[in-house]
Amino acid sequence: MAGCGSAVPIAGDYRAVGSITPAKSQFTATYPHDFPIHGIDVSKYQGDIDWDSVRRGGIEFAYIKATEGADRVDPKFNQNWQSAKAAGLKRGAYHFAYWCRQPEEEMANFLRTVPNDPDALPPVLDVEATPTSGTCKKTLYREQTIAQMRAMLQMMERAYGKRPVIYSTVDFYESILQPNELADYPIWVRSTKYSPHVRYGQRKWHFWQFQSDAKIPGIRGNVDRNAFHGDQRQWMAFAGGQETGSAMGYAPRNDVAAATIPGAVAQPQPANLVPPNRMPGAPSVLPPIDPDE
Protein backbone atom coordinates (compact mmCIF):
# COMPACT_ATOMS: atom_id res chain seq x y z
CA MET A 1 0.00 0.00 0.00
CA ALA A 2 1.04 3.64 0.09
CA GLY A 3 4.53 3.88 1.52
CA CYS A 4 4.82 0.13 2.15
CA GLY A 5 7.25 -2.25 0.47
CA SER A 6 9.45 -1.80 -2.55
CA ALA A 7 8.15 -0.06 -5.65
CA VAL A 8 8.22 -1.86 -8.99
CA PRO A 9 7.09 0.60 -11.67
CA ILE A 10 5.20 -0.41 -14.78
CA ALA A 11 6.74 0.28 -18.17
CA GLY A 12 5.81 3.65 -19.59
CA ASP A 13 3.83 6.63 -18.38
CA TYR A 14 0.27 7.67 -19.07
CA ARG A 15 -0.46 9.53 -22.29
CA ALA A 16 -2.18 12.28 -20.36
CA VAL A 17 -2.58 13.17 -16.74
CA GLY A 18 -5.56 11.32 -15.38
CA SER A 19 -5.78 8.97 -18.37
CA ILE A 20 -6.46 5.29 -17.72
CA THR A 21 -4.66 4.08 -20.85
CA PRO A 22 -0.92 3.34 -20.55
CA ALA A 23 1.28 4.47 -23.44
CA LYS A 24 3.16 1.17 -23.07
CA SER A 25 2.23 -1.89 -21.10
CA GLN A 26 3.80 -5.24 -20.32
CA PHE A 27 0.44 -6.58 -19.11
CA THR A 28 -1.09 -9.37 -21.20
CA ALA A 29 -4.70 -10.52 -21.57
CA THR A 30 -5.90 -8.12 -18.86
CA TYR A 31 -5.06 -4.41 -18.95
CA PRO A 32 -5.75 -1.56 -16.51
CA HIS A 33 -7.67 0.34 -19.16
CA ASP A 34 -10.08 -2.60 -19.47
CA PHE A 35 -11.69 -1.22 -16.31
CA PRO A 36 -13.20 2.30 -16.25
CA ILE A 37 -13.14 2.90 -12.49
CA HIS A 38 -9.73 3.93 -11.16
CA GLY A 39 -8.57 5.02 -7.73
CA ILE A 40 -5.56 5.58 -5.51
CA ASP A 41 -4.38 4.60 -2.04
CA VAL A 42 -2.59 7.13 0.14
CA SER A 43 -0.91 7.64 3.49
CA LYS A 44 1.21 10.28 5.19
CA TYR A 45 3.86 9.77 2.51
CA GLN A 46 1.76 11.68 -0.04
CA GLY A 47 1.83 14.77 2.17
CA ASP A 48 -0.90 17.41 1.76
CA ILE A 49 -3.21 16.39 -1.07
CA ASP A 50 -5.34 18.69 -3.21
CA TRP A 51 -8.34 16.37 -3.39
CA ASP A 52 -10.34 18.58 -5.76
CA SER A 53 -7.51 18.28 -8.30
CA VAL A 54 -7.37 14.53 -7.73
CA ARG A 55 -11.08 14.26 -8.52
CA ARG A 56 -10.77 16.42 -11.63
CA GLY A 57 -7.91 14.18 -12.77
CA GLY A 58 -10.27 11.25 -13.25
CA ILE A 59 -9.85 9.44 -9.92
CA GLU A 60 -13.11 8.09 -8.50
CA PHE A 61 -12.07 6.48 -5.23
CA ALA A 62 -9.34 6.53 -2.60
CA TYR A 63 -8.31 4.14 0.13
CA ILE A 64 -6.69 6.01 3.00
CA LYS A 65 -4.34 4.55 5.58
CA ALA A 66 -5.85 4.88 9.04
CA THR A 67 -3.93 2.67 11.43
CA GLU A 68 -1.11 0.19 11.89
CA GLY A 69 -0.96 -2.36 14.66
CA ALA A 70 -2.45 -1.52 18.05
CA ASP A 71 -1.17 2.02 18.58
CA ARG A 72 -0.18 3.77 15.34
CA VAL A 73 -2.48 6.24 13.59
CA ASP A 74 -1.54 7.80 10.27
CA PRO A 75 -1.13 11.53 10.99
CA LYS A 76 -2.81 12.49 7.70
CA PHE A 77 -5.83 10.23 8.10
CA ASN A 78 -8.39 12.70 9.44
CA GLN A 79 -7.39 15.37 6.95
CA ASN A 80 -7.53 12.94 4.01
CA TRP A 81 -10.74 11.30 5.21
CA GLN A 82 -12.65 14.56 5.40
CA SER A 83 -11.15 16.25 2.35
CA ALA A 84 -11.57 13.28 0.00
CA LYS A 85 -15.29 13.10 0.78
CA ALA A 86 -15.69 16.87 0.43
CA ALA A 87 -14.15 16.61 -3.04
CA GLY A 88 -16.74 14.01 -4.08
CA LEU A 89 -14.61 10.87 -4.04
CA LYS A 90 -15.75 7.57 -2.62
CA ARG A 91 -13.24 6.72 0.10
CA GLY A 92 -12.47 3.96 2.52
CA ALA A 93 -9.94 3.28 5.26
CA TYR A 94 -7.33 0.57 5.61
CA HIS A 95 -5.49 -1.02 8.52
CA PHE A 96 -1.94 -2.34 8.15
CA ALA A 97 -1.66 -5.60 10.09
CA TYR A 98 1.11 -5.91 12.68
CA TRP A 99 1.52 -9.59 13.45
CA CYS A 100 2.90 -9.17 16.99
CA ARG A 101 -0.29 -7.82 18.57
CA GLN A 102 -3.63 -9.46 19.27
CA PRO A 103 -6.52 -8.95 16.81
CA GLU A 104 -8.66 -7.25 19.46
CA GLU A 105 -5.93 -4.70 20.17
CA GLU A 106 -5.43 -3.91 16.49
CA MET A 107 -9.11 -3.53 15.78
CA ALA A 108 -9.64 -1.33 18.84
CA ASN A 109 -7.11 1.05 17.30
CA PHE A 110 -8.89 0.99 13.94
CA LEU A 111 -12.37 1.46 15.39
CA ARG A 112 -11.25 4.37 17.57
CA THR A 113 -9.81 6.07 14.50
CA VAL A 114 -12.22 5.41 11.62
CA PRO A 115 -15.76 6.89 11.80
CA ASN A 116 -18.68 4.65 10.95
CA ASP A 117 -19.76 6.49 7.81
CA PRO A 118 -22.50 4.65 5.85
CA ASP A 119 -21.24 6.30 2.66
CA ALA A 120 -17.70 4.95 3.04
CA LEU A 121 -16.29 2.05 1.07
CA PRO A 122 -15.83 -1.25 2.92
CA PRO A 123 -12.78 -1.22 5.21
CA VAL A 124 -9.57 -2.93 4.12
CA LEU A 125 -7.22 -5.24 6.01
CA ASP A 126 -3.72 -4.80 4.53
CA VAL A 127 -1.78 -8.06 5.04
CA GLU A 128 1.89 -8.24 4.14
CA ALA A 129 5.06 -9.90 5.35
CA THR A 130 7.24 -7.34 7.15
CA PRO A 131 10.87 -8.52 6.94
CA THR A 132 12.24 -5.03 7.54
CA SER A 133 10.31 -4.49 10.77
CA GLY A 134 12.61 -3.77 13.68
CA THR A 135 10.05 -4.89 16.25
CA CYS A 136 8.05 -7.76 14.72
CA LYS A 137 10.05 -10.48 12.98
CA LYS A 138 8.11 -13.73 13.13
CA THR A 139 7.06 -16.64 10.97
CA LEU A 140 3.62 -16.28 9.47
CA TYR A 141 2.30 -19.81 9.71
CA ARG A 142 -0.63 -20.35 7.38
CA GLU A 143 -3.22 -21.72 9.79
CA GLN A 144 -2.45 -19.24 12.56
CA THR A 145 -2.32 -16.27 10.20
CA ILE A 146 -5.65 -17.17 8.60
CA ALA A 147 -7.26 -17.39 12.04
CA GLN A 148 -5.78 -14.03 13.06
CA MET A 149 -6.98 -12.43 9.83
CA ARG A 150 -10.46 -13.89 10.16
CA ALA A 151 -10.77 -12.50 13.66
CA MET A 152 -9.88 -8.99 12.47
CA LEU A 153 -12.12 -9.22 9.41
CA GLN A 154 -15.07 -10.32 11.52
CA MET A 155 -14.57 -7.42 13.91
CA MET A 156 -14.40 -4.96 11.01
CA GLU A 157 -17.55 -6.37 9.47
CA ARG A 158 -19.51 -6.32 12.70
CA ALA A 159 -18.48 -2.74 13.45
CA TYR A 160 -19.09 -1.20 10.01
CA GLY A 161 -21.77 -3.46 8.54
CA LYS A 162 -19.82 -4.08 5.34
CA ARG A 163 -17.77 -7.06 4.31
CA PRO A 164 -14.09 -5.99 4.48
CA VAL A 165 -11.61 -6.26 1.63
CA ILE A 166 -8.28 -8.09 1.95
CA TYR A 167 -5.26 -6.36 0.40
CA SER A 168 -2.48 -8.84 -0.38
CA THR A 169 0.94 -8.72 -1.96
CA VAL A 170 2.12 -11.56 -4.20
CA ASP A 171 4.42 -13.18 -1.64
CA PHE A 172 1.76 -13.10 1.07
CA TYR A 173 -0.83 -14.58 -1.26
CA GLU A 174 1.49 -17.40 -2.32
CA SER A 175 2.48 -18.21 1.27
CA ILE A 176 -0.85 -17.79 3.06
CA LEU A 177 -3.92 -17.25 0.86
CA GLN A 178 -3.31 -19.37 -2.23
CA PRO A 179 -5.53 -20.54 -3.81
CA ASN A 180 -8.82 -19.81 -2.02
CA GLU A 181 -8.26 -19.07 1.67
CA LEU A 182 -10.78 -16.52 2.95
CA ALA A 183 -12.40 -16.46 -0.48
CA ASP A 184 -15.65 -15.26 1.09
CA TYR A 185 -14.02 -11.82 1.36
CA PRO A 186 -13.25 -9.53 -1.60
CA ILE A 187 -9.54 -9.37 -2.42
CA TRP A 188 -7.39 -6.47 -3.60
CA VAL A 189 -4.30 -7.72 -5.42
CA ARG A 190 -0.99 -6.03 -6.10
CA SER A 191 0.63 -6.81 -9.44
CA THR A 192 2.65 -4.01 -10.97
CA LYS A 193 4.51 -6.12 -13.52
CA TYR A 194 2.00 -8.69 -14.72
CA SER A 195 -1.72 -9.07 -15.23
CA PRO A 196 -3.35 -10.43 -12.05
CA HIS A 197 -3.97 -13.93 -13.40
CA VAL A 198 -0.21 -14.50 -13.77
CA ARG A 199 0.38 -14.21 -10.01
CA TYR A 200 -3.07 -14.92 -8.57
CA GLY A 201 -4.35 -17.60 -10.94
CA GLN A 202 -8.13 -17.88 -11.13
CA ARG A 203 -8.70 -16.03 -7.83
CA LYS A 204 -11.44 -13.47 -8.41
CA TRP A 205 -10.38 -9.97 -7.45
CA HIS A 206 -12.21 -6.72 -6.72
CA PHE A 207 -9.30 -4.25 -6.89
CA TRP A 208 -5.99 -4.36 -8.76
CA GLN A 209 -3.05 -2.20 -7.68
CA PHE A 210 -1.25 -1.99 -11.00
CA GLN A 211 1.08 1.00 -10.62
CA SER A 212 3.22 2.31 -7.78
CA ASP A 213 4.63 5.44 -9.44
CA ALA A 214 1.53 7.12 -10.85
CA LYS A 215 1.49 10.88 -11.30
CA ILE A 216 -1.88 12.30 -10.29
CA PRO A 217 -2.92 15.97 -10.26
CA GLY A 218 -3.03 17.28 -6.70
CA ILE A 219 -0.33 14.92 -5.37
CA ARG A 220 3.35 15.72 -5.23
CA GLY A 221 5.46 12.68 -5.98
CA ASN A 222 4.29 9.16 -6.72
CA VAL A 223 1.13 7.37 -5.66
CA ASP A 224 -0.32 3.87 -6.09
CA ARG A 225 -2.97 3.51 -8.77
CA ASN A 226 -5.74 0.91 -8.72
CA ALA A 227 -8.54 -0.40 -10.91
CA PHE A 228 -11.92 -1.74 -9.81
CA HIS A 229 -13.05 -5.02 -11.41
CA GLY A 230 -16.32 -3.93 -12.99
CA ASP A 231 -18.19 -1.30 -14.95
CA GLN A 232 -19.92 1.84 -13.70
CA ARG A 233 -23.10 0.01 -12.74
CA GLN A 234 -21.17 -2.64 -10.83
CA TRP A 235 -19.10 0.02 -9.13
CA MET A 236 -22.19 1.82 -7.91
CA ALA A 237 -23.55 -1.47 -6.58
CA PHE A 238 -20.31 -2.23 -4.75
CA ALA A 239 -19.74 1.27 -3.44
CA GLY A 240 -23.32 1.44 -2.26
CA GLY A 241 -23.19 -1.94 -0.56
CA GLN A 242 -25.91 -3.42 -2.75
CA GLU A 243 -25.87 -7.10 -3.60
CA THR A 244 -27.91 -6.87 -6.80
CA GLY A 245 -25.73 -6.07 -9.79
CA SER A 246 -22.51 -6.42 -7.84
CA ALA A 247 -19.37 -7.18 -9.80
CA MET A 248 -18.22 -10.03 -7.59
CA GLY A 249 -21.15 -10.88 -5.36
CA TYR A 250 -20.42 -8.41 -2.59
CA ALA A 251 -22.99 -8.17 0.17
CA PRO A 252 -22.78 -7.20 3.83
CA ARG A 253 -23.64 -10.02 6.18
CA ASN A 254 -25.51 -9.91 9.45
CA ASP A 255 -24.40 -13.25 10.88
CA VAL A 256 -20.79 -12.41 11.76
CA ALA A 257 -19.63 -13.05 15.31
CA ALA A 258 -16.88 -10.84 16.68
CA ALA A 259 -15.50 -9.91 20.06
CA THR A 260 -16.47 -6.79 21.93
CA ILE A 261 -13.50 -4.46 21.53
CA PRO A 262 -12.67 -2.34 24.57
CA GLY A 263 -12.42 1.33 23.66
CA ALA A 264 -14.05 0.96 20.25
CA VAL A 265 -16.36 3.78 19.23
CA ALA A 266 -17.59 2.84 15.76
CA GLN A 267 -20.77 1.20 17.03
CA PRO A 268 -21.90 -0.89 20.00
CA GLN A 269 -21.21 -4.61 19.90
CA PRO A 270 -23.86 -7.21 20.82
CA ALA A 271 -23.22 -8.83 24.17
CA ASN A 272 -23.64 -12.43 23.02
CA LEU A 273 -20.78 -12.56 20.51
CA VAL A 274 -18.11 -15.26 20.56
CA PRO A 275 -14.55 -13.95 21.00
CA PRO A 276 -12.06 -14.98 18.28
CA ASN A 277 -9.14 -17.20 19.22
CA ARG A 278 -5.96 -15.48 20.26
CA MET A 279 -2.84 -16.31 18.34
CA PRO A 280 0.33 -17.79 19.85
CA GLY A 281 3.75 -16.38 19.06
CA ALA A 282 6.07 -17.80 16.43
CA PRO A 283 9.83 -17.90 15.63
CA SER A 284 11.62 -15.01 13.99
CA VAL A 285 11.72 -16.19 10.37
CA LEU A 286 9.70 -14.64 7.54
CA PRO A 287 8.61 -16.07 4.20
CA PRO A 288 10.75 -14.79 1.31
CA ILE A 289 9.68 -11.63 -0.49
CA ASP A 290 9.04 -12.07 -4.22
CA PRO A 291 10.65 -8.99 -5.82
CA ASP A 292 9.11 -9.77 -9.21
CA GLU A 293 5.57 -8.53 -8.72
Catalogue the active-site residues.
128
User: Which of 253, 267, 222, 280 shows the shortest CA–CA distance to 103?
Assistant: 280
Measured at the CA of 19, the angle between CA 18 and CA 21, to 5 degrees, comes to 150
* Composition of the chain by helix, strand, coil, percent to 5: 25, 15, 60
Q: Which helix (H) or strand (E) holds 125?
A: strand 124-127
In whole angstroms, give the CA distance from residue 74 to residue 86: 19
User: Which of 182, 164, 161 shows the shortest CA–CA distance to 173?
Assistant: 182
DSSP 78: H
In whole angstroms, give the CA distance from residue 229 to residue 227: 6
What CA–CA distances, in Å, run from 175 to 37, 38, 68, 118, 134?
30, 28, 22, 34, 22
Bridge-based pairing state of the strands 38-42 and 124-127: unpaired
User: Which of 274, 280, 1 shows the shortest CA–CA distance to 154?
Assistant: 274
List, as one string, the DSSP characters of 144-174.
HHHHHHHHHHHHHHHHHSS--EEEE-HHHII
